[in-house]
Amino acid sequence: MTETNLLEPIWLRVLEITPQLTKATYETLLMVLIALSIAAVIGIPLGVLLVITRPGHIWEQKWFYKIANLIINIIRAIPFIILMFAITPFTRLIVGTTIQLKGAIVPLVVFTAPFIARVTESALLEVNKGIIEAFLAMGASPWQIISKVLLKETRSTMVLGMTISAISLIGASAMAGVVGGGGLGDLAIRYGYQRYEGDVMVVTLAVLIIMVMGMQNLGNSIAKKLKK
Amino acid sequence: MIEITNLYKTYQSNEGNVEALKGVNLKVEKGEIFGVIGFSGAGKSSLIRCVNMLEKPTEGSVRVNELEMTKLTKHKLREARKKIGMIFQHFNLLETCTVFENIAVALELSHIPKASINEKVNNLLNIVGLEDKKNNFPSQLSGGQKQRVAIARALANDIDILLCDEATSALDPQTTEAILELLLDINRKFKITILLITHEMHVIKKICDKVAVIEDGVIIEEDTVLNTFTKPKTQTTRNFIKSIMEDELSESVLKKLRTKKENNKILRLTFIGGSASQPVLAIIAKELPLWPNILCGNIIQIKNQTLGRLIIELTGDCQSIDEGIKILKDHNVITEVLNYD
C-alpha cells in the first residue's frame, strides 16, 4: 500500500484535493482583494497626506507628518504574525470576531495600509517640484494638485506599487490562515506541513507561484499602458 | 501693473539667515517688457517668485493690477494667479500627458466646459505653432517646443501678465531667438505685460523695453534698455554690456598706443539710430587735420533701435582734436574720451 502510495502519480492526488484547492484559491483571492481594497482606501490618502504635509510642501502640517510617520514606522516594524495576535482586541472591536475571513481581514488591512501609504509616498515624491510649482502659479488648489498632478503623473508607478502590495498580501494571507481565514497558505500548512503530504505542498506552492506571476504580469502590463 | 515697494525676503536656515532681497522697489507699466538681470544668487529668482507669491515676502508690498498680493486670502490668491502666467527654465510640463492635455489642464483648473476647452487649446496651439504636435508627449519634443507648450499653457486663462523665470536659459542660441520672438509677438498681439529675469544681456537687448540690474538683493540700476546701454552707471552693468558688446581695447592694442609719439586721444563714440547713418569720421577728417583710426567697433540691435559703438584713435594737434570732438557731438554722437595711461 505504502509503495503504491509513493508511486502514485502526483496528478491523481491533485485530482483528489481539487475541491480543497479550488476553495483555498478562492479564499486567498477573496482575502487579498478585500484587504487590498480596504487598505488602498486607507493607505493611498495616507500616503498623499505624508507627502503634502511635509515641510515645504503644499499643505505643510509639521505635527501631523511627524506623528503619522512615527505610527507607520511602528506598525511596519511589527512582523505580521505578531501583529495579528497583538491587535485581537481591536479586531474584535471592528468585526466582532477574530477568526474566519472577517477576523483575518482586519489584521491584513492594518498590515497593508501603512505599506501602501509608503508605496504611495515614494511614488508621489518622485514628482518634480517644479511641476507642482507651475500648477501653484496657475492658481491650482491643493486638491487639484493632488488629482491633476501628483496622482495623475504617478499612476503607472502607483499600479506597480499596488501590485507589490497585493503580492505581499498573498504572503501575509498565508499566515492569516492560522486563525481560520483559510486560503492556500492554510492548506499548505495543514496538509503539507502538519500531515507530511509533500505533494499537496508542492501543488499549493505551484498555485501560489502562478498567482504571483499572474498578478505581477497584470500589474506590469497595466502600468505599461498607463505610462504614456 | 506691477508695483513692488520696499520688498524684503529673508530665508531662514540652520546656518543662519540669508537676505535674498533687501528693499527692492520696482514698477512695471502695462504693456511693457521689463527685464531684471543679475548674476546667480543676486536675488532675481526670489524677486519674480514674490510677484505671484510662490515665495512669501518677509516685508514690503507687491501690487499687481491694483491688488495687494501679500494680503490676499488663499482663495483670492488662486484667482489672482490665474491672470498671471508663468514660464520656467525647465518648462515643468506633465510628462505623462500629451501636448494637448498639458494645455487643456490649465483650462480645467478654471472649470471651463469641455467643448470650449477643445477650441481654445487648438487656438493656443496655433499661436505657438505646434498644431502638428498636439498628440505628442513632452519627451518627444525639443527644448524649444516644450517651452512653447509651457507658453501656451500660461496663456490659456487670458492672462494680463507673464512672468518668465529664466525661460531661455536652458535653450540653445537659435531656439532662444525663436522663443524671444514668440514672447515679443505675444506682448504685441495680446498686450500682455512681461516681467522676465535672466542672466543674459542678449535677452534684455532683444526684447526688453526697460531693465533693472539686481545685485546682492538690491536694484542697483534701472532705466530704459537704450539708456542703460549708452550710459551704464555701475561696473556690474558695464560687465553685462561687455558680454555682448566688445567695449574695451585688448592689451596688445593698448601697448602699441602707449609707445606712440604722436599727440592722440582715444575716443569712444556711440551712435544711436539716425546718427549711425552719417559719415562723421569722414567729415572730421576732411575738415580738420585729423587722422581717425578705428580700433574697435560694434553695431547691435536693441529691440527696434540700432546702437553703434566705435573706439577710435584720433591723431592730430590738441586744438584740432577738441574741435573734432565738438563736431562729433554736434552730430549727436555720444563722445567720451578714454584714458588708457
For chain B, what are the domain ranges?
Answer: 2-242, 251-338
pLDDT value, residue B258: 80
Q: Is B52 on the interface with A (CB under 8 A)?
A: yes
| B251-338 is classed CATH 3.40.50.2300 | no
With CB atoms and an 8 Å threshold, state whether A144 touches B52.
no
CA atoms within 13 A on the CB side of B333: 28
- Residue B332 DSSP SS3: coil
Residues from chain B that touch A153, judged by Cβ atoms under 8 A, are 94-96
The tally of CA atoms less than 13 A away on the side-chain side of residue B298 is 20
A191 DSSP assignment: I
Residue A139 CB burial class (10 angstroms; 0-12, 13-18, ≥19): buried
Q: Which residues of A touch B108 (CB under 8 A)?
A: 148
What does the pLDDT average to over B14-37?
94
Residue B129 backbone class (left: φ over 0; alpha: ψ -120 to 50; beta: rest): left
**Predicted TM-score of the model (pTM):** 0.89
A107 touches A97 (CB < 8 A): no
Please tell me the distance from the alpha carbon of residue B273 to that of residue B16, in angstroms, as a whole number.
Answer: 50
Q: Is B230 exposed, middle or buried (0-12, 13-18, 19+ CB in 10 A)?
A: middle
Contact A140 B78 (CB under 8 A): yes
Residue reference for cell 539708456: B227
**Same topology between domain B2-242 and domain B251-338:** no
* Chain B residues in contact with A133 (beta carbon < 8 A): 54, 88, 92
- The residue behind cell 491672470 is B83
ipTM: 0.89
In one-letter notation, the amino acid at residue B257 is L
The span from the CA of A150 to the CA of A48, in Å, is: 8
Q: What are phi and psi of A63, to 5 degrees?
A: -75, -40
Helix H or strand E segment including A48: helix A10-52
Pick from A131, A140, A226: CB nearest B92: A131
Helix, coil or strand: residue B14: coil
What CATH number has the domain bearing residue A177? 1.10.3720.10
Number of domains into which chain A is organized: 1
Q: B297 or A228: which carries more pLDDT confidence?
A: B297
* Residues shown for chain B: 341
- Judged by CB atoms closer than 8 Å, whether chains meet at A134 and B86 is answered as yes
* Rounded Cα gap, residues B138 and B145, in angstroms: 9
B215 within 8 A of B236, measured Cβ to Cβ: yes
CB spacing of B109 vs A153 below 8 angstroms: no
Helices then strands, each counted (H, E), chain A: 12, 0
Listed in order, strand segments (DSSP E) in chain A are none
CB atoms within 10 A of CB A93: 10
Residues of B in contact with A149 (CB under 8 A): 94
Closest chain A residue to B97 measured between Cα atoms? A228
The rounded mean pLDDT for chain B is 92
Nearest beta carbon to residue B82 from set A131, A139, A148: A139
Answer with the residue of higher pLDDT: A41 or B261.
A41
Radius of gyration in angstroms for the set of CA atoms belonging to chain A, rounded to a whole number: 21
Question: Over its length of 228 residues, how does chain A's per-residue pLDDT go in tens digits?
Answer: 444 555 566 677 778 888 988 999 999 999 999 999 999 999 999 999 999 999 989 999 999 999 999 999 999 999 998 999 999 999 999 998 888 888 899 999 999 999 999 999 999 999 999 999 999 999 999 999 999 999 999 999 999 999 999 999 998 988 887 777 788 888 888 887 788 887 888 888 899 999 999 999 999 999 999 886
What average pLDDT does range B82-106 have in this prediction?
96
Instruction: Choose among B239, B304, B237, B249: nearest CA to B272.
Output: B304
Which residues does chain A have within 8 Å of residue B85's beta carbon, measured at their own beta carbons? 137-138
Report phi then psi at A110, rounded to 5: -60, -35
Residues 129-158 of A with CB under 8 A from B: 130-131, 133-141, 144, 148-149, 152-153, 155-156
For domain B2-242, which architecture applies? 3-Layer(aba) Sandwich (3.40)
pLDDT computed for residue A2 by the predictor: 46
Residue B52 makes CB contacts below 8 A (sequence gap 6+) with A137, B64, B69, B80, B81, B84, B86, B163
**A228 with B94: Cβ contact below 8 A:** no
Rounded Cα–Cα distance for residues B316 and A199 (Å) = 113
CA distance B333 to B282: 14
CB nearest to A153's CB, from B94, B108, B153: B94
Q: Please tell me the distance from the alpha carbon of residue A168 to that of residue A108, in angstroms, as a whole number.
A: 10
Task: Give the rounded percent of residues in chain B with a pLDDT score beyond 90.
Answer: 68
What pLDDT does residue B47 have? Answer: 96
Closest CA to A29 of A196, A205, A169: A169
A18 in contact with B, Cβ within 8 Å = no
Q: Which of A6-10, A167-171, B163-167, B303-307 has the lowest mean pLDDT?
A: A6-10
Mutate to test the interface with A, among B94, B139, B159 (most CBs of A within 10 A): B94
On whether any CB of chain A is under 8 Å from the CB of B81, the answer is yes
Residue among B81, B102, B195 with most chain A CBs within 10 A, to mutate: B81
Mean pLDDT along residues B154-165: 96
Domain enclosing residue A205, as ranges: 2-226
Q: Find the mean pLDDT for residues B287-310.
A: 87
